[in-house]
Amino acid sequence: MTIQEKALVIFSGGQDSTTCLLQAIATYGQQNVQVITFAYGQRHAIELEKAKWIAQDLGVRQTVLDLSLMKQITHNALMDEQADIEQTDQGMPNTFVDGRNALFLLYAAIYAKSQEIKHIIVGVCETDFSGYPDCRDVFIKSMNVSLNLAMDYPFQIHTPLMYLTKAQTWALADQLGGLQYVREHTHTCYMGVEGGCGECPSCLLRNKGLAEYLESK
Ligand SMILES: [Zn+2]
């Protein structure tokens, strides 16, 4: 039994948001699910291509929004081909983009309301917390309140991965029948290597989680 309401998934084509999308389709039904993808000057076009391919393959409507204006006001390694990815002195990876999730949620909500969608799903996670402040549950809850007040609309932001480890996120994909799908089709590598470089922080986290899950099976 699916819930007869509509949902919007914030979708990057990576492991986490693809798992959220599979869960949303199982919960709301494919015809009730849409995705929104943000282009903000990511280092690698491969992310956007994967996201487009998956949305098409799963038969959900995708809206791609260009937020490359971010480059005018903030600088970070995720958007700069020249920069090395590393930890900063504050212990945060220099891939952090200030305000990114606040901005994504705001645009997602504006779009969602125009489509009469209340449910917004985002794959942020506090567990493997890299120090990104806008991945914390407290931020998402406060943003939910702000959006509802801003637009006088009862949005419900869902964060199904908030307290899962990477291994548990793989387990969830498996429960949804999507383990192979997520392994094959999603892109998470910071270096933009098809199939993953195996060395960047993102690949390490993904591979470690997968190994843990497969061992525990
Ligand atoms: Zn990588």
**pLDDT above 60 for 88:** no
Q: How far is the CA of 114 from the centre of ligand 1 (A)?
A: 37
As residues whose CB is below 5 A from the ion ligand 1, the structure lists 189, 191, 196-197, 200, 203
Distance 199 CA to ligand 1 centre (A): 5
Q: Edge-to-edge strands of the sheet including 119-121?
A: 61-66, 33-39, 7-10, 119-121, 156-158
**Residue 110 placed within a domain:** yes
Question: What is the domain-level CATH number for residue 42?
Answer: 3.40.50.620
The answer as to whether 86 is a domain residue is yes
Within a domain: 1: no
Does residue 2 form part of some domain? no
How many domains would you assign to the chain? 1
β-partners of residue 37 are 64
Distance 174 CA to ligand 1 centre (A): 22
* Gap from CA of 73 to ligand 1 centroid (Å): 26
Strand partners, 20: none
Task: Considering only residues 88 and 195, tell me which one the structure prediction assigns the higher pLDDT.
Answer: 195
33 in any annotated domain: yes
pLDDT at 99: 87
pLDDT of residue 136: 94
Between these two residues, 196 and 29, which has the higher pLDDT value? 29
- Count other Cβ atoms within 10 Å, centred on residue 90: 8
pLDDT at 196 over 60: yes
Handedness of CA 93, 86, 71, 104 (dihedral sign): negative
Domain of 140? 7-216
**pTM, full prediction:** 0.90
Residue 73 has what pLDDT?
Answer: 79
Annotated binding site: 11-21, 189, 197, 200, 203
Whether residue 70 is contained in a domain is answered as yes
Q: What gap in Å lies between CA 139 and CA 100, rounded to an integer?
A: 12
Residue 90 lies in a domain: yes
CA dihedral 59, 181, 131, 70 (to 10 degrees): -40
Report the range out of 8-22, 31-45, 83-97, 130-144 with the highest average pLDDT: 8-22
Binding site for Zn(2+): which residues?
189, 197, 200, 203
Distance from residue 195's CA to the centre of ligand 1 (Å): 8
In a domain, 14, yes or no: yes
Task: Assess whether pLDDT exceeds 90 at residue 200.
Answer: no
